[in-house]
Structure 1
Amino acid sequence: MTRHTSDFLRQRSSNMSLRSVAAANSLNTSRLSSFANPSEFEKKKTMSDAEKAFIVGNLAGCGWLSLCDSCYRDLPEHHTESLALRLRDDRNSCSLCKVMSTKPEAFTEPFLKFMQENPTIFHAVGYFKDKASSLGYKELPARDDWSGKLEAGGKYFVTRNGTSVIAFTVGKAFKPGNGVAMVAGHIDALTAKLKPVSNKPTKAGYVQLGVAPYAGGLNETWWDRDLSIGGRVIVRDESGKTSSKLVKLDWPIAKIPTLAPHFGVGIMGQQNKETEAVPIIGLDNSDISSSTAQPLGPAGSFAATQPPRLVKIIAKELGIEDYSQIVNWELELFDLQPATVGGLDKEFIFAGRIDDKLCSWAAFEGLLASEANDDDGIIKLVALFDDEEIGSLLRQGARGNFLPSVIERTVESLCGESKTFGPGILGQTYAQSFLVSADVTHAVNPNFLGRYLEDHTPRLNVGISIAADSNGHMTTDSVSTAIITRVCELSDCTPQVFQIRNDSRSGGTVGPMLSSALGVKSIDAGMAQLSMHSIRATCGSLDPGLGVKFFKGFLDKWEKVDAEWQ
């Protein structure tokens, strides 16, 4: 079969970016003529770099792609069925080449899309699971025996509680006792969760919702925001089998109304969160007509403890007709306003839940984009935890045994039947490992320069910030700083530094608790943001991509850097 030349393909698609989806599909119908042997291509088992970049860059549904001829030929047809394509001579303008070379600008739109589509921690973990699976990662159920299921060169992930996830790759040259390059962060965010009994008496014609703040949620930045509801619902089907389903509403359903200044009361943190920060979710003037809404389900059932109209909406979203099938739920409020770029040159990202979807997403992307070379002798791992904002004390938090359990079970499985597994191998593994505790830190605020320590003022769109604290709230020291500075040098990343003033209070991260439990060398390093703990925060539009570049660089370069130390 004759292969079309680049000139021919470019001529055919010169106006592709303006074509309709139908026209793009007509091109895709004949795409296989670009390959010498289409039947072999369709049966191809090894994922091409272009296909990997397509998935890592979250380019499905982006509308159009600029592709170089090489990526065009290597990208399977099913990925571009609904896309319009523009072929380019210059690989620097190819969408897939930008992802493969970790150009920061290639990750701005994917991050915005992730933030918009995954408003709760349950949705975020589902996203990470699906994305890892699409790149060949295998799930390891925690209740299963892992013996004989792990091998050098393998890719795996494990979840706990649907709110924490650990993903890792095993180097092709891995041997028991070799180290683990780890990035650990958190995916929980400040929010307001529905109470176990969220149904409240109607007041003055308003239907209200009983919610409780998670961490610093319901603060003054939550007032007068467009809030929606999402999370997971526990459902029991007709056969008695119980499962968990995700739900999110795509319109604002709740509002916490402020009191006008005419009443002489401000709203700057003076309100009682139990009685004065109660969301309104609807109107009910039935008391005027002497009729009241009846609860759904019998007394004592879960549905009877929740606002009837909310139960109906959630049931409809899940396709449930029998409300008694809803056994329980974990729902929360979230800011519905989309994540967006802003600024004169679109150099900012304005979004909710940046703390800490920013570092967790970038770290996971860095793992998915990391290299798999024949001489890789380590495990590359990313662990994303729940409950960091409230102390990490629960089983899905970093203080639990999730990470050490996964590492120990992994090393045990990789030891095979050699009988070498034990405290000696684990001690050797941890001694040769390194942890990056990845959490957002404070970008310098131009209106409050006096609040910052001089020469410790991270900027947006520059690079990773190494965070230090003299009282051990961070796990950074001189050795780990030298190591990560070297990683940045090899990865073409620009490190920054942050430390809080002596007269301010430092926050905490998962770093100290994990490094002390595992005994591994470690550092705290993350991307900078403005307005931490606000319902809407700000980072740089290049910061997601700069994060991906750094975390990928760490995972790929750690083994080389470690070899430079005695």
Structure 2
Amino acid sequence: MTQPARFDRGHTDDLMTFLAASPSPYHAVATAAERLEKAGFRQVAETDAWDGTRGGKYVLRGGAIVAWYVPEDAAPHTPFRIVGAHTDSPNLRVKPLPDSGAHGWRQVAVEIYGGPLLNSWLDRDLGLAGRLTLRDGSTRLVNVDRPLLRVPQLAIHLDRSVTADGLKLDKQRHMQPVWGLGHDVRDGDLIAFLEETAGIPAGEVTGWDLMTHSVEPPAYLGRDRELLAGPRMDNLLSVHAGTAALAAVASGASKPTSIPVLAAFDHEENGSQSDTGADGPLLGNVLERSVFARGGSYEDRARAFAGTVCLSSDTGHAVHPNYAERHDPTHHPRVNGGPILKVNVNNRYATDGSGRAEFTAACEAADVPFQSFVSNNSMPCGTTIGPITAARHGIRTVDIGVAILSMHSARELCGADDPFLLANALTAFLER
């Protein structure tokens, strides 16, 4: 099947590279920051005094990044146009006392982060990645991107009830991965292994934020390679698209009349209530300091926020061919049909009629088709950072995204063209 000329698989190839390089939120923001640096952005520290110079800047805090580009003619009251996303994904995370085992097996003690499809983590080769904190307070990223861990499933011969009752997993008893053999399980084994792997002197690591990831790389799927299978597309697909859009706008010939912003938060999958989550102060602090650094007053801040618009970009549900009855009968988003506009009248999504018009204008400017998503009235509706952002900062917010299958699986599925279409729509939105 020949693709229309406007589809650029180069963008999707680059997304695959981004996904593979970002096995944790900390790696995701480091990868995004590296790309923004190449586009001329410079990191600023939250502990430093900020000046009002124009150009691209960004701040990093843990697994979150906020980046913005100030045009030459930006006034203190110039509004912002924000692409919001999140860097975290459901997975298995290492406990404070990680070394465990039984019956000659070495295991790693893990907690369940977010709401993963637990069965998708069974019998899968897993690596380990995240952030190590050293005695002097500095941090180091670590990524063991090879088969290291595995959560072995019980053979059907030992549980015949699976056939009749389906698989039932206890999060505490059944999800602890194995990573070796030995009867003498010693405290510190895992961290010592990671110190050696990262080239850190023994005993220097005193804290860690570690998580598992599938080591199987992203791949095109299907007869015509029109699908993309890969990990953490919820929601690194949006982080990647937002990073690409912000870099394109900052380096483009036509300068934006608003201040374009990328805000990629951590902890969306468990409620966003942290210093790096959307329900924390990070975004508001950055926007306010940008206004004040340009000589603005509280009145300028109020004017800027009143004119600000945020696109909260997260993945949504494509119609599932085996479970079509779970979807709204009149709203069936399809993969490769363009980004989706997510609507819920009970404010689980922040979109209203004016937000729809805003997104329509961006898609029309980019010549990008889009679809609408609502939940089946008989099914609970999920939510995003959209309503949180709107309520916390008083800014107009629209929920959008890309339709996928297997959401919250260790390996998700989307259309290979949709990431490119989303990035084009986000670029047009930031340029407006």
Q: TM-score range by the shorter chain?
A: over 0.9
Map of 1:148-547 to 2, 5 A cutoff? 149-152=51-54, 154-160=55-61, 162-200=62-100, 202-217=101-116, 219-236=118-135, 241-263=136-158, 264-266=160-162, 268-284=166-182, 286=183, 292=184, 295=186, 304=187, 306=188, 308=189, 310-321=190-201, 323-370=202-249, 372=252, 376-415=256-295, 420-422=296-298, 424-547=299-422
Segments of 5+ residues of structure 2 without an aligned counterpart are: none
Distance in 2 (CA, whole Å) between partners of 1:387 and 1:466 is 23
Question: How far 1:103 moved relative to its partner?
Answer: 4.8
Deviation per CA, 1:175-234, whole angstroms, max 9, x where unpaired? 11121011111110001110001111x322111110000012371111111111111111
CA contact (8 A) 1:254 1:281 kept: yes
**TM-score, structure 1 normalization:** 0.73
Partners in 2 of 1:259 and 1:375 — Cα distance?
58
CA distance in 1 between counterparts of 2:273 and 2:167 reads: 27
| Greater gyration radius | 1
Distance between the aligned counterparts of 1:185 and 1:268, measured in 2? 35
Shift in Å, 1:382: 0.7
> SS in structure 1 opposite 2:362?
helix
TM-score normalised according to structure 2 size: 0.94
Assess if the C-alpha contact under 8 Å between 2:42 and 2:58 holds in 1.
yes
How much has 1:269 moved relative to structure 2?
A: 5.0
CA shift for structure 1 position 512: 0.6
AA at the equivalent of 1:253: L
CA contact (8 A) 1:192 1:218 kept: no
- In structure 2, what is the Cα distance between the partners aligned to 1:159 and 1:320? 23
What is the distance in 2 between the residues matched to 1:374 and 1:387?
Answer: 35
Q: Conserved in 2, the CA contact under 8 Å of 1:104 and 1:543?
A: no
- The answer to which of 216-225 and 251-260 deviates more is 216-225
Q: 1:102 to 1:344 in 2, by over 3 A?
A: closer
- Following superposition, the deviation at residue 334 of structure 1 comes to 0.8
Q: Distance in 2 between matches of 1:195 and 1:119?
A: 18
Q: Helix, strand or coil: the match of 2:20? A: helix
CA contact (8 A) 1:171 1:373 kept: no
- CA distance 1:120–1:452, change in 2 (3 Å): same
What is residue 71 of structure 1 aligned with on the other side?
A: none
Aligned length: 425
Q: Of Structure 1 and Structure 2, which has the larger fraction of its residues in strand?
A: 2
- 5+ residue gaps, structure 1, are 1-100, 287-291, 296-303, 558-566
Aligned partners of 1:512, 1:462: CA distance in 2, in Å? 25
SS at match of 2:203: helix
Q: Does the 8 Å CA contact 1:218/1:277 hold for their aligned counterparts?
A: no
Deviations 1:294-331 (A, max 9, x none): x4xxxxxxxx4x3x2x334212222134x211112111
Deviations 1:86-124 (A, max 9, x none): xxxxxxxxxxxxxxx985322011111111122111111
Give me the whole-angstrom Cα distance separating, in 2, the residues matched to 1:270 and 1:277. 11
Deviation at 1:341, TM superposition (A): 0.6
Q: Distance in 2 between matches of 1:447 and 1:522?
A: 33
In structure 1, C-alpha distance between the alignment counterparts of 2:328 and 2:267, rounded to whole Å: 29
Name the aligned partner's letter for residue 193 of structure 1. R
Check whether the contact 2:42–2:56 (CA below 8 A) recurs between aligned residues: yes
Deviation by residue 1:356-384 (Cα, 9 ceiling, x = unmatched): 11111111111111154576331000100
Aligned 8 A contact 1:172 1:376 in 2: no
Q: Aligned partners of 2:112, 2:169: CA distance in 1, in Å?
A: 13
Asked if the contact 2:335/2:414 (under 8 Å) is kept, the reply is yes
The 8 Å contact of residues 128 and 143 in structure 2, kept in 1 or not, is answered as yes
Q: Which has the higher helix share?
A: 1
Q: Is the 8 A contact 1:172 1:377 kept in 2?
A: no
Is the 2:192–2:203 Cα contact (8 Å) retained in structure 1? no
SS in 1 for 2:18: helix
